[in-house]
């Protein structure tokens, strides 16, 4: 039996109430193919009965991606369907075989997820054209429900705290590497997790509420809003992701979720964290994380989204008041308890690396010396979705408030 005989552990906890400012996608590497789902609009499944011609009822009807159980669908096939399915496979007609499988799968739907108009159009065509992949990358799930992993949120805190603690004057900016930065910022010893200050921070997972996600199309955009050179149709390769709804599209539909942060008091003292610059309590962690991401948010908005997108996101951020109806910021500065951070895929390397020494890769550069960018240089593209007006919307921005604090006993 192990017995803890050290100083009394004092744990401070807060509940954060968070909401996506822009869509979030956190995946697990899997994907759904056209023989695993079918598309339904308000009255019929697209792949069998409706038409996607402009102005048609099907073109404007609400659509859903319906995932079905493939094995159950095959067992449920009628003799006629089974024969048609086998014949199509024998002749290499995969589109026809998938149609039969989808028809049989209507009785074994696992879940229905709303589809954006852009994804509906592309995925419906993929069902008819074998050269189109029609792949959809789903949100990570636990128990069949999309959720936000606590590890993703903790990673945002880790980057921000390391950036704040980095001893920048100890080496030339161009000589920093990721390993050097984390080691020097936190005072880590290689392979010794007991020297990591973040061992004293825990973040809970958060299940997303029903109806929190939809399948949408993503595209790559250069500065100024153009597609990269050589891309066609807004980004070239089709990319479809299950992502959260957000304040940027409709504040009424944006899903709110709660997470619990807990900080062991040893994170603020010499017995737990070697470098004084790396020590933190819960409120310092919140402030440092917010400040780190505020700089990123402002720079990204100015660099890529000046105009309608920047105005929209700023308006939505300003309008998201706290538990006591307090605004996110006033003339005196940011309101304590307000948090801004970036989660998930398409956060780009700037939000995953340390301010002032980050060095992104640009593998397309012709000159080998340009393949690694100078410290703190930004990339030239963003991965975005589009709102109903065609404005580009970035991924991953989350805002929220401390909704509850549990103070340790005196």
Domain boundaries, the chain: 11-25+143-212+244-406, 37-134
For residue 178, name the pLDDT band (cuts at 50, 70, 90).
confident
Average pLDDT over residues 251-262: 95
**Strand-pair partners of 216:** 241
**Strand order across the beta sheet in which 338-342 lies:** 201-203, 257-264, 11-20, 397-406, 338-342
**Radius of gyration of the chain, Cα coordinates, nearest whole angstrom:** 24
pTM, full prediction: 0.88
Q: Is the pLDDT at 57 greater than 60, yes or no?
A: no
Q: Is the pLDDT at 295 greater than 90, yes or no?
A: yes
For residue 44, name the pLDDT band (cuts at 50, 70, 90).
very low
For residue 215, name the pLDDT band (cuts at 50, 70, 90).
very high
Q: Residue 365's pLDDT is what?
A: 67
* Pairing between β-strand 64-68 and β-strand 109-114 as defined by DSSP bridges: antiparallel
**Strand order across the beta sheet in which 145-148 lies:** 141-142, 145-148, 206-207
Cβ–Cβ under 8 Å, residues 289 and 180: no
Highest mean pLDDT among 58-62, 305-309, 367-371: 305-309
Angle between helices 150-165 and 282-304 (to 10 degrees): 90
**Strand-pair partners of 385:** 393
Cα separation, 309 vs 307, in Å, equals: 6
Average pLDDT over residues 166-191: 82
Q: Residue 299's pLDDT is what?
A: 94
Average pLDDT over residues 268-296: 94
Cα separation, 38 vs 317, in Å, equals: 36
The whole-chain average pLDDT of the chain stands at: 87
**DSSP one-letter code for 123:** H
**DSSP one-letter code for 375:** T
Residue 262, φ and ψ in degrees, nearest 5: -130, 130
Q: Which among 244, 240, 220, 241 is positioned nearest to 126, based on CA atoms?
A: 240
**Strand-pair partners of 222:** 381
Residue 288, φ and ψ in degrees, nearest 5: -65, -40
As given in the structure block, the two tokens for residue 344 are 């998930």
**Strand order across the beta sheet in which 239-244 lies:** 136-137, 239-244, 213-222, 381-386, 392-394
% of the chain exceeding 70 in pLDDT: 87
Q: Residue 53's pLDDT is what?
A: 53
Q: Is the pLDDT at 4 greater than 60, yes or no?
A: no
Average pLDDT over residues 94-109: 93
Cβ–Cβ under 8 Å, residues 312 and 392: no
Q: Residue 48's pLDDT is what?
A: 47
Q: Residue 236's pLDDT is what?
A: 56
Q: Is the pLDDT at 202 greater than 90, yes or no?
A: yes
């Amino acid at each position: 039996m192990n017995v803890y005989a050290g100083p009394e552990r004092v744990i401070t906890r807060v509940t954060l109430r968070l909401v996506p400012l822009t869509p979030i996608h956190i995946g697990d590497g899997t994907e759904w193919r056209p023989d695993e789902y079918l598309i339904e609009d308000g009255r019929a499944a697209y792949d069998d009965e409706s038409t996607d011609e402009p102005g048609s009822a099907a073109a404007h009807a609400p659509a859903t991606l319906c995932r079905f159980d493939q094995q159950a669908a095959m067992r449920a096939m009628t003799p006629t369907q089974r024969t048609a399915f086998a014949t199509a496979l024998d002749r290499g007609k995969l589109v026809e075989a998938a149609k039969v499988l989808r028809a049989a799968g209507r009785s074994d739907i696992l879940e229905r997820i709303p589809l954006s108009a852009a994804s509906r159009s592309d995925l419906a065509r993929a069902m008819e054209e074998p050269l189109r992949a029609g792949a959809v990358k789903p949100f990570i799930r636990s128990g069949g429900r999309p959720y936000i992993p606590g590890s993703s949120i903790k990673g945002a805190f880790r980057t921000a705290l390391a950036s704040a603690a980095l001893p920048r004057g100890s080496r030339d900016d161009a000589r920093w590497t990721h390993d050097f930065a984390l080691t020097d910022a936190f005072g880590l010893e290689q392979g010794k997790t007991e020297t990591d200050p973040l061992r004293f921070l825990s973040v809970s997972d958060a299940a997303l509420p029903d109806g929190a996600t939809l399948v949408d199309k993503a595209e790559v955009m250069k500065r100024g809003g153009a597609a990269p050179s050589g891309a066609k149709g807004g980004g070239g390769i089709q990319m479809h992701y299950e992502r959260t709804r957000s304040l940027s599209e409709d504040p009424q539909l944006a899903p709110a979720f709660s997470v619990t942060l807990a900080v062991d008091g040893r994170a603020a003292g010499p017995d737990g964290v070697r470098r004084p610059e790396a020590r933190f309590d819960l409120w310092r962690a919140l402030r440092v994380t917010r400040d780190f991401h505020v700089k990123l948010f402002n720079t990204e908005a100015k660099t890529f989204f000046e105009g309608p997108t920047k105005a929209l996101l700023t308006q939505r951020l300003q309008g998201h008041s706290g538990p006591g109806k307090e605004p996110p910021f006033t003339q005196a500065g940011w309101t304590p308890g307000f948090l801004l951070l970036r989660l998930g895929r398409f956060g780009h390397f700037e939000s995953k690396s340390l301010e002032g020494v980050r060095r992104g890769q640009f593998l397309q550069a012709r000159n080998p010396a340009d393949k690694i960018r100078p410290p703190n240089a930004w990339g030239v593209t963003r991965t975005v979705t589009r709102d109903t007006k065609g404005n580009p919307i970035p991924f991953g921005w989350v805002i929220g408030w401390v909704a509850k604090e549990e103070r340790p006993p005196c």
